[in-house]
Copies of this chain bind each other. A is one copy, B any other.
């Protein structure tokens, strides 16, 4: 039989904090071992708490949640961090995930779902609110109406990998001049005149 999941909560709103603590603590298989209202407060003791999962708010006084993630990860390398926030801005989400968060829930998530997510994250899952998942999925989706031809797209991808004309020519078994010609056409179509601008525009519009 597996032991209880040890949960710590870092949330500045007292009502929410106590609410979560009560709900999770009352659930079989879960122990809320500590609650904090800021990272600064948590940093002093959380290493000895050794939680399995941390519920972390983004909007915190002092060190904000995103910046807290790498610090918490350093204190507790094997701990999973689950973001619990009202924010749904794309940058916020991707920054949190890049920093090491293992899941992202919005605060309208029903408590049963939160409790389920805590278990999921410990079992290697990646819990997300459905609207968060939408943003994440959309971030992968490429533009289907690219002005670029297949070959041009392919070459622009290689440019995005930092490859020179010569490297591209070798990789595609075509002449250096052909690569040049394609790049010129790419620039024409995208109305840019440098690699950096082409890459930027292409990534913004998800052409590559």
Contact = CB atoms under 8 A, between A and B. Distances in A.
Contacts of A172: none
Interface in A157-179: 159-164, 167
Contacts of A86: none
Nearest to A99: B142
Instruction: State how many copies of this chain the complex holds.
Output: 2
Contacts of A140: 94, 97-98, 136
Given A125-B134, A126-B128, A163-B196, 20 more contacts: A94-B140, A97-B137, A101-B137, A102-B134, A123-B130, A124-B131, A125-B130, A126-B130, A126-B133, A126-B135, A126-B137, A126-B138, A127-B133, A128-B137, A136-B140, A161-B196, A161-B199, A162-B162, A162-B195, A164-B196
Interface of A: 70, 73-74, 94, 97-104, 120, 123-128, 130-138, 140-142, 144, 159-164, 167, 194-196, 198-200
